[in-house]
Structure 1
Amino acid sequence: MFKSQRPLVLIVDDNAENLTVLGELLQPLYQVRAANGGERALQLMQLDPCPDLVLLDVMMPDLDGYEVLRRLRADPATAEVPVIFVTALGATDDEERGLAHGAVDYITKPIRPQVLLARVAAHIELRRARVRLQDRNHDLEAEVSRRMQENERIRDISMHALARLAETRDNETGFHLLRTREYMRLLADELRRQRLFADELDAAAADLMVRSAPLHDIGKVGIPDRILHKEGRLDDEEWAIMKTHARLGADAIVQAERDAGSDAGMDYLRYAKQIAMSHHERWDGRGYPQGLAGEAIPLAARLMALADVFDALTCRRVYKEAWSLEAARELIVKERGQHFDPRVADAFLACYEDFCRVATQFRDEATDDRRS
């Protein structure tokens, strides 16, 4: 933003008499700097504050005005400063050449004081108006960015709160949501590093998939306590009911979209629906609830499938003890191309040490007796 001080004009001319005339004309209204050549003008342009406008002679012995202007335009610090050529060259071709080089105006000598003052004032005011508009746009962009970040935080907190509700009903403990989210992030980053799924796994999509991961078991809020909290293995009827949590979760998110009046849905809810519905599908088609196979399973759900299984294997359940990290790795290798997308399994193997780090860093201290 400009300060309230008088505008600063740089006058450039190799003729001392011309500098004196221009200086005396401008000083009652403006601050003035003077340069007697192109090289000196470029030096003065680097001083703070930067001039608001330059009156530039064309014919000078060291650097002519065209070269000075070219260098000013090439420097981001001076590229937007308006330059008016002031020259004895009065032919139409000379004026067109000056404007083509980026000058905002062209004044011929001998100078007519009122014409020069009027044009200087007009271009300074135009420059300042443009900068004020840029400042306002910058402030607006900053405010929009702040509000978007705030909305994203609210969204993430809301999603996490819903996920923790399901986690609480399922006797979840500690860091399950954090671990599975980080496993998703590791897989997505590794697949992007290998340039796999480039058409559907750019940085934005990967981020939304990871943010959506905590909602994978939201449907468990609809499972009866007698099944969700049963000690020991479920019988066939109970298992059939337990498997409905995938569809219940996706349906709940769809209904939430409808209640919010969203016609097209939002990207992060799209991935949340895919993950909730399909993270128990298998690559070989023997999963649930739809029996999808291969690439018919959404990519986000294929990542979540491996992340969730790894976490389930390496944590204690009411029906089993926790497996070692290496034993879990061996099972995933065995299930490559059966339970898991081979490329996702390979990504897991590539970042296995990072999986171990997350599992160790966020290990549950309390007894872990949730169901997968």
Structure 2
Amino acid sequence: MYHSVSYTPTLLVIDDIPENLSLMYKLLKDDYKVKGANSGDKGLTIAANDKPDLILLDVMMPEMDGFEVCSYLKSNPSTKDIPVIFITAKNESIDERKGLELGAVDYITKPIVPEIVKARVKAHLSLKMASDLLKGENESLEKEVQKRTQESIEQIEELHAIQNIAFNAMISLAETRDNETGNHIRRTQFYIKLLAERLCQEPSYANQLDDNTINLLFKSAPLHDIGKIGIPDHILMKKGKLTEEEFEIMKTHTTIGFEALNRAEESNGKEMSFLRVGKEIAHSHHEKWDGSGYPQGLSGKDIPLSARLMAIVDVYDALISKRIYKPAFTHDEAIKMILDERGAHFDPTIVDAFMDIQQDIHSIALLYA
């Protein structure tokens, strides 16, 4: 499947307009095997027979539209695991949430921007590769490691390599839809690692933050906004402050991210311990200590520790970063704002730990500015 170095992924493009099929073929043919279908029926037949690695599916088609085609694909055991990316025109009124609920992984809007198409296709193919590797190999490898019957270095290294492939694929996907910079992701990784290492010195937190958990926090931090894959482009890329209605839609990135990671886990038929922290962070990093956050309104220690850590480092980095709707605050200004939210937005003990290492945090911010 993906084990051969010479393997070339196959893409299926389903679109009723010949010019669109030709455009996508020219754009992707150098990197992939590209098949085309000019109707939903033909697309379903090719998908069932050829099992492409990814499907690019036009939404607005006669007779059978993209939503119906996607529904058939996801109901067929032989095609249900093929990632589907919808393609739609910017001026079309499309229920994007409906497509994601049907099982699509992403939307691309017309007119096509070649760099965006290539980035999204590459990211989703990487994620599928990671999922296939995990499905086929992780369960048996992890079982062997847990039983300690054959605790070979090779097996442990292979397990870690597969997990890293999954993390990197998901991070790559998150970056293709994030409107922030890659440095934001890098900074928050180092912030959260430093903060966890300081917090584990506190007796009440020491048993929750061993070396493995801190490593998982470092790896999982970039997944905090992976749910933005499900937020429409006109909201995600808006050059200005969101309206109240748009913000309500933006808030759903927490549940979308959790559900996406949960589906990746469920497709393997068992709980994946290394995805636990990623799911917690994606779902709960906007919860607040006093219960006024979202999406569940959790409070206090009902909020997972990983999410409480992510909350403070994410806010700090947002404060010191320039946005269209706000200037960048200085480090000292950001520190004062965080202190003002001690016991309201943030866990008081974590705020105290953050204050202890604030100069180290500032150094990271400057290093990856």
Normalising by structure 2, what TM-score? 0.57
Q: Of 310, 331, 345, which aligns to 1:304?
A: 310
* SS of equivalent to 1:193: coil
Which residue in 2 is equivalent to 1:277? 283
Which residue in 1 is equivalent to 2:354? 348
Which residue in 2 is equivalent to 1:328? 334
* Cα deviation digits, residues 232-255 of structure 1 (max 9, x gap): 111111000000000000011111
Which residue in 1 is equivalent to 2:268? 260
- Cα distance 1:154–1:175, how it changes in 2: closer, same or farther (>3 A)? farther
Greater Cα radius of gyration, structure 1 or 2: 1
For residues 323 and 141 of structure 1, what CA distance do their matches in structure 2 show? 54
Which residue in 2 is equivalent to 1:200? 208
Q: Of 284, 293, 297, which aligns to 1:287?
A: 293
Asked whether the 8 Å contact 2:217–2:277 carries over to 1, the reply is yes
* SS of equivalent to 1:315: coil
Which residue in 1 is equivalent to 2:174? 166
For residues 149 and 266 of structure 2, what CA distance do their matches in structure 1 show? 30
CA RMSD, 1 decimal: 1.9
State the 1:152 CA deviation: 1.9
Which residue in 1 is equivalent to 2:363? 357
State the 1:195 CA deviation: 3.1
State the 1:200 CA deviation: 1.8
- 1:231-246 to structure 2, matched below 5 A, reads 231-246=239-254
Which residue in 2 is equivalent to 1:29? none
* Cα deviation digits, residues 241-296 of structure 1 (max 9, x gap): 0000000000111111111111xx12221111110000000001110000100011
For residues 149 and 341 of structure 1, what CA distance do their matches in structure 2 show? 36
Q: Which has the higher contact order (CA 8 A, sep 6+)?
A: 1
- 1:83-162 to structure 2, matched below 5 A, reads 144-162=152-170
For residues 300 and 368 of structure 2, what CA distance do their matches in structure 1 show? 31
For residues 284 and 296 of structure 1, what CA distance do their matches in structure 2 show? 11
State the 1:341 CA deviation: 0.1
Which residue in 2 is equivalent to 1:85? none
AA at the equivalent of 1:214: P
For residues 312 and 351 of structure 1, what CA distance do their matches in structure 2 show? 18
For residues 172 and 332 of structure 1, what CA distance do their matches in structure 2 show? 21
* Cα deviation digits, residues 311-335 of structure 1 (max 9, x gap): 1111112211211111111111111
Which residue in 2 is equivalent to 1:210? 218
State the 1:186 CA deviation: 0.8
* Cα deviation digits, residues 193-226 of structure 1 (max 9, x gap): 2333123222222222222111111100000000
Which residue in 2 is equivalent to 1:80? none
State the 1:338 CA deviation: 0.6
State the 1:143 CA deviation: 8.0
Normalising by structure 1, what TM-score? 0.57
For residues 310 and 293 of structure 2, what CA distance do their matches in structure 1 show? 13
AA at the equivalent of 1:200: Q
For residues 345 and 273 of structure 1, what CA distance do their matches in structure 2 show? 23
State the 1:348 CA deviation: 0.3
Which residue in 1 is equivalent to 2:95? none
State the 1:176 CA deviation: 1.4
Report whether the alignment pairs 1:186 with 2:194: yes
State the 1:337 CA deviation: 0.5
Asked whether the 8 Å contact 2:178–2:225 carries over to 1, the reply is no
Asked whether the 8 Å contact 1:160–1:215 carries over to 2, the reply is no
Gaps of 5+ in 1: 1-139, 364-372
State the 1:177 CA deviation: 1.3
* SS of equivalent to 1:232: coil
* Cα deviation digits, residues 321-367 of structure 1 (max 9, x gap): 2111111111111111111000110110011011011101111xxxx
State the 1:142 CA deviation: 10
Asked whether the 8 Å contact 1:209–1:268 carries over to 2, the reply is no
State the 1:173 CA deviation: 1.8
For residues 289 and 188 of structure 1, what CA distance do their matches in structure 2 show? 24
AA at the equivalent of 2:227: G
Which 4+ residue blocks in structure 1 deviate beyond 6 angstroms?
140-143
For residues 234 and 333 of structure 1, what CA distance do their matches in structure 2 show? 26
Q: Of 201, 206, 227, which aligns to 1:219?
A: 227
State the 1:170 CA deviation: 2.2
State the 1:166 CA deviation: 2.0
**Percentage of identical aligned residues:** 49
Asked whether the 8 Å contact 2:163–2:274 carries over to 1, the reply is no
